[in-house]
Amino acid sequence: MRPTFSIILFTTASGTGYGLLALAALLAGFDLLPADRWLGAATLLLGLGLVTAGLLASTFHLGHPERAWRALSQWRSSWLSREGVAAVAAYPPLLLFAFGWIVLGENGGAWGALGWLGAAIALLTVLCTGQIYASLRAVPQWHHRWVTPNYLLLALASGAVWLNGLAHLFGIAGTALTGLAAVALALAWAGKQHYWRSIRGARPVATAESATGLGDIGKVRSLERPHTGDNYLLHEMGFKVARRHAERLRRIAAGAGFTLPLALTVLAPWLPPAASTFATLLAVLSLSVGLVMERWLFFAEARHAVQLYYGEDTV
């Protein structure tokens, strides 16, 4: 599948934003984050900004962005519609939670309950995003049991690293946040590695013979292409990335997105305050680069079954 910048930006930015908002709300509700107005403003405004930027970016992929609101009506059958409904529903409780924390200086009690509600809807939105891809049987690399869990793990890991970096920046860092970020990163890394190994060693789920129903006759091959020129299917679903190139990008994504941020997160508490803050912010930057590359690979390595009619032997 062709990686599209707007969708990559949407899934990475909104995932990080929802993860940051969910963790901030959950930890504040358990009195694990102080009701510091500046920390609250930086955390919640950044999270809401990332979510909003991601949602706006997703509309750029539509042929008619002005009709995006119509997708909300299909929530009974469409994960895309459910994602949109959940994304809209998350704003009221999170905005009220932000008001209580930033304006009133309170992030517990009733305001904390609103934060928990917003956190639950935020994570539900990420789950719906993962299910959009996991429900597509025509793309074997997406119709995989680890796609949705990885979306959730990556959202929580990126949110935890961002929250740890902001806490260091405002001088409110603690071992709990550092431990949370390290554990979340380790789990997300393990989940992604398992997914990569799984799709790399997976057997084909469809062949040209099974797609055409002519397998009983023998080997099926295309005599000529269905089209003399490029079309939408070839442009969007015929994108290929060389195996050697994909392996190299995986190593870069693993290093920038997981290994380096994890090392910096674990090292930060042992450094002087200024160096510790720099390390956590460098971890944020490295993770962001790694996530963009990871998401690019998620699309580039996916192969749609329609390519069996355009000369591919297996998918």
HEC string of the chain equals CCCCHHHHHHHHHHHHHHHHHHHHHHHHHCCCCCCCHHHHHHHHHHHHHHHHHHHHHHHCCCCCHHHHHHHHHHCCCCHHHHHHHHHHHHHHHHHHHHHHHHCCCCCCHHHHHHHHHHHHHHHHHHHHHHHHHHCCCCCCCCCCCCHHHHHHHHHHHHHHHHHHHHHHHCCCCCHHHHHHHHHHHHHHHHHHHHHHHHHHCCCCCCEHHHHHCCCCCCCCCCCCCCCCCCCHHHHHHCCCCCHHHHHHHHHHHHHHHHHHHHHHHHHHHHCCHHHHHHHHHHHHHHHHHHHHHHHHHHHHCCCCHHHHHHCCCEC
Q: Does 200 score more than 80 pLDDT?
A: yes
Tell me the C-alpha distance between 11 and 130, whole Å: 9
**What value does the mean pLDDT of the chain take?**
89
Query: Which pLDDT score, from 0 to 100, does residue 59 have?
Result: 76
Strand partners, 207: 314
Q: Is the pLDDT of residue 281 over 90?
A: yes
Q: What pLDDT does residue 65 have?
A: 65
Give the separation between CA 257 and CA 262, rounded to whole angstroms. 9
Residue 90 has pLDDT above 70, yes or no: yes
pTM above 0.85, yes or no: yes
Mean pLDDT for 170-192 is: 93
Q: Which of 63-67, 70-74, 148-152 has the lowest mean pLDDT?
A: 63-67
State the pLDDT confidence band at 24, using cuts at 50, 70 and 90: very high
The better pLDDT of the pair 173, 20 is held by: 20
Q: How confident is the model at residue 213 (pLDDT cuts 50, 70, 90)?
A: confident
Note the pLDDT of residue 5: 85
Structure tokens at 228: 């003399």
Is residue 168 in a domain? Answer: yes
The pLDDT of residue 209 is above 70: yes
The separation between CA 30 and the C-alpha centre of its own chain, rounded to angstroms, equals 26
Residue 167 pLDDT > 80, yes or no?
Answer: yes
User: Nearest CA to 24 among 156, 127, 153?
Assistant: 156
Confidence of residue 75 (pLDDT cuts 50, 70, 90): confident
10-24 b/e (C-beta count within 10 Å ≥ 16 → b): bbbbbbbbbbbbbbb
Does a structural domain hold residue 218? Answer: yes
- CA dist 27 → 33, 112, 115, 188, 218 (Å): 6, 9, 10, 20, 61
Q: Please check whether residue 315 lies inside any domain of the structure.
A: no
182 pLDDT above the threshold of 90: yes
Q: What pLDDT is recorded for position 64?
A: 66
Mean of pLDDT values over 147-170: 96
Q: Select the more confidently predicted residue: 267 or 77.
A: 267
User: Would you state the pLDDT for residue 296?
Assistant: 93
Is pLDDT of 268 > 90?
A: yes
Structural domain contains residue 93: yes
pLDDT of residue 210: 75
User: How high is the pLDDT of residue 62?
Assistant: 67
pLDDT at 156 over 90: yes
Range name among 115-129, 136-150, 223-237, 274-288 with the lowest pLDDT average: 223-237
- The CATH number that applies at residue 22 is 1.20.1630.10
**Residue 60, in any domain of the structure:** yes
Is residue 227 situated within a structural domain? yes
- Spatial contact of 103 and 86, defined as CB atoms under 8 Å apart: no
Report how many domains make up the chain: 1
In degrees to the nearest 10, what's the CA dihedral of 27, 33, 36, 38? Answer: -60
Q: By percentage, how much of the chain surpasses pLDDT 90?
A: 61
Beta-ladder partners of 314: 207
Question: From CA 253, how far away is CA 130, in angstroms rounded?
Answer: 19
**pLDDT at residue 240 greater than cutoff 90:** no
- What is the mean predicted confidence (pLDDT) over 80-106? 94
44 occurs within a structural domain: yes
Residue 269 confidence (pLDDT) above 70: yes
- Asked whether residue 255 carries a pLDDT value surpassing 70, the answer given is yes
Domain assignment present for 213: yes
**Residue 190, domain extent:** 5-310
